[in-house]
Amino acid sequence: MIELPKDLNEAIAQSRTATSAALSDGKTLLQVELVFPEIALQAQSIAAQFVPEFEEMYSGVKVLFPDTGAAALARRDWGQTEFKVTDLGSSRTPVEDKIEPEDQLFLLVNPAAVEVPQVEKLYIAAGDRPVIILNPRLEDVATIGIGYAGRQLRDRFLNKIESCYYIRSLESAVLFRCYPQSWQVWLSKNDDYELISETAQKPVGDDLDRILAKALGIADPDSTAPAKPLKKTGFMADLQRFLKALTQ
């Protein structure tokens, strides 16, 4: 069983291995998320550590950033590379025009919610070629379920994304997935973490609250009623402690 990473480099290494495993299993729309405050500021350096794994597997890797500025900065900082670096396009240069026959794998770095239509167009244009979404800022998109348009977006695109690597610090806990493992919840205990739950689907909302409340002994384990949201006392301290450990 893969355990929680001890630092950011180990988390990136785990995410590469998980993504490779998912690709080997035929998955073509993948997502890797290191959900921490200000992680977007490290998007370029994380992408630089992430890419080499897939250059060995695919001869035509293309890295896409959300805008021309971010793409230009990456090209400047990275210098000459075997893989190509571009952006998601604009109204004048649609993303479909960014795709070439020799491209074999697309790595999309740090897209925000407003870029979802472009990301979907990239996925459609890519056909059966893999698309990997690295550290997206799509949390609010996943909850747009109000209304017909939101349901359509989920059914048509968002539900197809395989979350092959996910790590997020919660209050006194960590939500974690490393493909092909199931979703795990780890509880902070005495400066360490203990595995308290494994589920096939990502636990969110009341389900996640129930898991944590049961582990902390503040809920009836047989109850199906929604658990009261855990108090946020100490949240920032715990989050900062875990983030500090990851980024050292």
67-77, pLDDT tens digit by residue?
999 999 999 99
E strand or H helix at 199, and its extent? strand 192-199
Please tell me the predicted confidence (pLDDT) of residue 230: 46
pLDDT exceeds 60 at position 227: no
E strand or H helix at 23, and its extent? helix 8-24
pLDDT exceeds 90 at position 198: yes
Which one is predicted more confidently, 132 or 215? 132
pLDDT exceeds 60 at position 203: yes
pLDDT exceeds 90 at position 12: yes
Rounded to two decimals, what is the model's pTM?
Answer: 0.85
Give the mean model confidence (pLDDT) for residues 224-243: 46
As a residue count, the chain comes to: 248
Please tell me the predicted confidence (pLDDT) of residue 68: 93
Task: Measure the CA–CA gap between 130 and 61, rounded to whole angstroms.
Answer: 10
Give the pair of three-digit tokens for residue 197: 């739950």
Give the mean model confidence (pLDDT) for residues 166-176: 90
Please tell me the predicted confidence (pLDDT) of residue 40: 82
Please tell me the predicted confidence (pLDDT) of residue 138: 61
- For 41-49, the CB contacts below 8 A with 24+ separation are 42/8, 43/70, 43/109, 43/110, 43/134, 43/135, 44/70, 44/73, 44/74, 44/77, 44/109, 46/12, 46/134, 46/135, 47/74, 47/107, 47/109, 47/134, 48/78, 49/9, 49/12
Please tell me the predicted confidence (pLDDT) of residue 86: 96
Provide the pairing of β-strand 183-189 with 131-134. unpaired
pLDDT exceeds 50 at position 220: yes
The pLDDT confidence band at residue 158, using thresholds 50, 70 and 90, is: confident
